[in-house]
Amino acid sequence: MPLGFPPERGEMAKLVECIPNFSCSKERSPEVYEALVKVAEGVPGCTLFDAQTDGDHNRSVFTMIGSPEAIEEVAFQLTKKAAELIDMREHQGAHKRMGATDVIPFVPQMDVTVADCVAMSKRVAKRIWEELQIPCFLYEDSATSPNRKNLATIRKGEFEGMPEKLLQEEWAPDYGERKIHPTAGVTAVGARFPLVAFNMNLATPDVSIAKKIARTIRASSGGFRSCKAMGFKLEDRGMTQVSVNMVNYEDTPLWLVYETVKTLAEHWGTHIVESELVGLTPAKALADTAEYYFNIKDFDCKKQVIEYHLIDLAQGLQPKVKEPELSDLTVRGFADLVASDAPAPGGGSVAALYGAIGSALTAMVAGLTQGRKKYAAFAENAFAVQAKCMDLKERFLDVMHRDTLAFNVVSKAYGMPRDTDEEKVARRSAIQEGLKGCTKTPLEMMELCEEAIAFTRSLLSVGFNETSASDLGVSVLSFQSAVQGAWLNVLINLGSIKDETFVSEYKAKGQGILERVLKEAADLYGEITKKIEG
């Protein structure tokens, strides 16, 4: 699609959010800030929704939304302009920082996946190095190792300590040489879940209180999951600030963090004067807070917030370009659809769902293995397994939807007219092609099962958090059910296909995969059972 935003009437938009952070502020460097705003507003296909700046932090945060192509371009152009105008050797501010463009996160918004954003982050980071000679680290969902997932870990040492850090064996940049750009420093680029940044300002000049509260609530110190927090002094206002980044507001709601900070502040003899949001915030994060404070019974954000209906209405004015995904249904909705008298979704889609659940369980166990000293030796492998299984989960869900679409093609073919000889030939040909499609999809499921169960084996062989052994066992059973269910769907379609070469080829492929996966599943289940029994 062209870079223009919004899209032409009748198109479905692909939208990505980008929230670059710059080491400058309007208060301290108004000409630099305005130059960056001008760049952000000058790329077709991109809209600058918000630009926030803070003199104490000496930092600016832009929120932009646009087509993937436009967002990639504007991210690079802003980094280029920041490198031209910001000299990190002279930068001072309360917020930790390592580069003129400190961080560039990409967040999927509409018809774009996290995997798409990961690919974007790699292209942008590569271009930043090749054209601007600014080394780049990949972080969050783009991270290439567990210790690079957390931005704070990458940024530790800041601009001043980064030259020495880059020489350490484990801290070679993902793109670039082991030396910083002399004035622009280093940049982190990555894909991530929508982050909520908000600050709570305390009625005390004692920064030690803000630091103690931040240490109590942040995940790295044993506080709230998905919470990052720091304490700052606001010199100009005689106050202090607890600055919070919620990297997943569904893990820990905003109201819980706010109430905890409020209670801790009162414990140390002060109170929250005000809070502030930095950049844009997902509606659900605020709706969850409203639900708590209003004590709303049976609140449903998507049904009871009018803006959601307006979005649906606006999208309804555009022609549908694809069938709704089965994976978008609730668990109950999918089960009810399967239980209806419609022949699809049926066993093939359910088999694919088993595969998705098995992949999700393996990814969960891999995630629970990371970040714990006891399992530090397994962390690298667990990180790789988690990334692969998250991707496999999405691939299984895609096949789940396509299995139903393939069945619908056959159903449509059977409904074709057959009054003339030509119509009969066309109908038979369409049926045969449709049946081949219905065979290819479950065979693809079987191939995914073989790929996925190998990662379960990898966790078991290398090492994992054994408190989750039962979860790993259920993932094995899920793959076993998925491969057997998919095989039944291959067989039933092969029985009606006239192309003997096709039948022979697909039967041989399917039988081979089935035997290998079932043998591996039996072995894994036995080994896991022994671990649980001790």
Q: Are strands 227-234 and 239-246 parallel, antiparallel or unpaired?
A: antiparallel
CB 54 within 8 A of CB 25: yes
Task: Please name the residue that has the structure tokens 């999927």.
Answer: 108
CA distances from 346 to 326, 332, 351, 488, 513 (A): 12, 15, 9, 12, 22
Length of the chain: 534
What distance in Å separates the CA atoms of residue 150 and residue 103, rounded to the nearest whole number?
12
Q: Are strands 46-54 and 101-110 parallel, antiparallel or unpaired?
A: unpaired
* 309 noted as active-site residue: no
What distance in Å separates the CA atoms of residue 323 and residue 337, rounded to the nearest whole number?
15
252: closest CA among 272, 228, 232?
228
Task: Please name the residue that has the structure tokens 């000058």.
Answer: 42
- CA 181 to chain CA centroid, Å, is 30
Question: Which amino acid would we find at residue 215?
Answer: R
Among 95, 181, 271, 401, the one annotated catalytic: 95
CB contact burial 263-291 (16+ within 10 A = b; e otherwise): ebbeeeebeeeebeebbbbbebbbbbbeb
Q: What DSSP character marks residue 90?
A: G
Active-site positions read 95
